[in-house]
Amino acid sequence: MTAIIILNWNGYSDTIACLESLYEMRSEFYVVVVDNGSTDGSFEHIMEYLESRTVVARVVRVGGRLSASPAARECIVCRSDENLGFARGNNEALRMLAGCLPDSLLFLNNDTLVEPDFLDVLNEAASEHTDYCAFTPMICYESRRDVIWNCGGRLALGMRKYYYAGGDVAAVRQGGIIPVTFVTGCALYFRPCLLLADGGLFTEKFFFGEEDFNFCLRMKRERQKMGCVTKSKIYHKVSASTAAKPAVGKIYIHYLNRFMDMRQNSARGFYVLWAAVNAAYVTLLLARRRDVGLRRGIRLVASVLRDSRRMEGVDRACFTAALNRRW
Secondary structure in 3-state letters for the chain: CEEEEEEECCCHHHHHHHHHHHCCCCCCEEEEEEEECCCCCHHHHHHHHHHHCCCCEEEEECCCCCCCCCCCCCEEEEEECCCCCHHHHHHHHHHHCHHHCCCEEEEECCCEEECCCHHHHHHHHHHHCCCEEEEEEEEEECCCCCEEEECCEEEECCEEEECCCCCEHHHCCCCCEEEECECCCCEEEECHHHCCCCCCCCCCCECCCCHHHHHHHHHHHCCCEEEEEEEEEEEECCCCCCCCCCCHHHHHHHHHHHHHHHHHCCCHHHHHHHHHHHHHHHHHHHHCCCCCHHHHHHHHHHHHHHHHHHCCCECHHHHHHHHHCCC
Q: How far apart are CA 323 and CA 311, in angstroms?
A: 17
Residue 242 has what pLDDT? 38
Residue 158 has what pLDDT? 87
Residue 240 has what pLDDT? 47
Q: Residue 310: left if φ>0, alpha if ψ -120 to 50, beta else—which one?
A: alpha
Amino acid type, 117: D
Is the pLDDT at 245 greater than 80? The verdict is no
C-beta separation of 230 from 121 below 8 A: no
Q: Kindly give, in sequence order, each residue whose CB lies less than 8 Å from that of residue 291, ignoring residues fewer than 6 positions away.
A: 245, 248
Q: How far apart are CA 247 and CA 191, in angstroms?
A: 36
Sign of CA dihedral 19, 85, 212, 98: negative
**CB-count burial class (<10 Å; 0-12, 13-18, 19+) for 242:** exposed
Q: pLDDT per residue over 177-206, tens digit each?
A: 999 999 999 999 999 999 999 999 999 999
C-beta separation of 227 from 133 below 8 A: no
Residue 199 has what pLDDT? 97
Beta bridge partners of 2: 29, 104
Amino acid type, 321: A
Q: How far apart are CA 265 and CA 274, in angstroms?
A: 12
Residue 247 has what pLDDT? 87
87-96, 100-109, 156-165, 236-245: least confident range: 236-245
In this structure, the number of other CB atoms found within 10 A of the CB of residue 36 comes to 26
Q: pLDDT per residue over 111-157, tens digit each?
A: 999 999 999 999 999 999 999 999 999 999 999 999 999 999 999 98
Q: pLDDT per residue over 246-293, tens digit each?
A: 789 999 999 999 999 999 999 999 999 999 999 999 999 999 998 899
Is the pLDDT at 326 greater than 90? The verdict is no
Residue 174 has what pLDDT? 84
Residue 176 has what pLDDT? 87
Q: How far apart are CA 185 and CA 311, in angstroms?
A: 24
Q: How far apart are CA 212 and CA 188, in angstroms?
A: 9
pTM over the 0.75 mark: yes
Q: pLDDT per residue over 2-19, tens digit each?
A: 999 999 999 999 999 999
Is the pLDDT at 243 greater than 50? The verdict is no
Q: pLDDT per residue over 53-92, tens digit each?
A: 999 999 999 999 998 999 999 999 999 999 999 999 999 9
Beta bridge partners of 80: 36
Is the pLDDT at 239 greater than 80? The verdict is no
